[in-house]
Structure 1
Amino acid sequence: MKFLLTSGGINNKSIQDALVGMLGKSIADSNALCIPTAMYGHPWVGPGVKAWEFISGKEENPMVNLGWKSIGVLELTALPSISEDRWVPLVLETDVLLVAGGDALYLCHWMRQSGLADLLPSLQAVYVGMSAGSMVLAPNIGGFFVGWTPPSGGDEALGLVDFAIFPHLDHEMLPHNTMASAESWAAGMQVPGYAIDDQTAIKVIDGAAEVVSEGHWKLFGPSL
């Protein structure tokens, strides 16, 4: 699977061009599924109006409102209660998964519970993450970002990429997301870590990571 891991969505032309290149066709010719699940686990974004804004494409971060050929909703918390033949074919046929931010460990839990985590490595779709939707693919997220506590405890995530992500670097509404905080976070990680702002994304194809940025970012730890 191809991953486009963003901090704040498809916020500039460089990131959008990377997405189109990964799709191999235009956004207008591509079918998408949006996954709002992470939002419900975070007290700032869900449930309620923020989840509706993401699904409806009314939010400020460009994801759902890019002009897709079609857009659907895949709610992970519902999937364990329905047959796989109701949703797996839908995922297999889609061109892109748009995964909202929120709480990364809550998202990780429901990706595993739903069965989507097992399906991801074999998908042909492009996975586009935003914030927690990107962080969840790392081996772990770091104590700095632990909010919702999974039944097993800890900060382990899916491990589908071999680095971690510190999103929203120097964001005006997140005064604790400074470079100094990112350095402290990275010092406690066992894998390389990218600190990225909302104008930056990491493109991963066949395990190879490439930074796409019109903003600022820093890689901590050994070179990938």
Structure 2
Amino acid sequence: MTAADRPPVALVTGGGGDIGRAIALRLARMSAAVAIIDRDEAAATATARLIENAGGHAIAIPADVSSALDTAAFVETVEAQLGPIGIFANNAGIEGVVAPLHEYPDDTFDKLLQVNVKGVFLGLKHVLGRMRQRGAGAIINTASTSAIRGRAGLAGYVASKHAVLGLTRTAALEVTGTKIRVNAVLPGPVESRMIRELEGQARDSTVELRRNGDAARGQPQDVADVVAFLASDEAAHVNGAAWVVDGGMTVA
């Protein structure tokens, strides 16, 4: 099999979660061989099995995206087992807690920056370096509508997602003139474990999680479909963009 005959290789971090799983399955339907990274080995393996059961090819690797050693290792493993990474869904993230800023726990804030910001940075660093050698690739960072607005009670999460958007724009500028593209997808509230956890915390907090507009909550597949577009050749001229997926909530 020549390099041109090989299926594209997609790397999905946080691939054991609701949105990450939907992204992995959607990329597999584009005939990509998919590597799923997650701290939860069982969840990553479950995603890989869904892809394999549907006739695709996937591997699962347990890893901590906030660790430089883990990130370097899983990128090396993916390319050794599957081939050059052509699509990178830099998706792993955590939600933190719901609390007023003056009561927000220091350790939770630090953990959010480690996973949501340093994790995205490390993924970009190690994957982008390899893509630059080859001169092509598509990277999609998962930010949030919290990257373009404030949310009471979510200081750590909001700060981290603003940073993800900043990293996206910086990386996009650095690859201008190549066939590499770096974009961000910004989901609004999506039916998932994360949103259920935040809403559960809010019920026990003095902070109200308000949202703009009356749009219905999205589904993980809504996000995955946009990621698939940004990963495709149809988005060849899209670089440095922030694609909001929220049914219009942030328009109101």
Larger RCO, structure (CA 8 Å, separation 6 or more)? 1
Structure richer in helix, relative to its length: 2
| TM norm structure 1 | 0.48
| TM norm structure 2 | 0.44
Larger Rg: 2
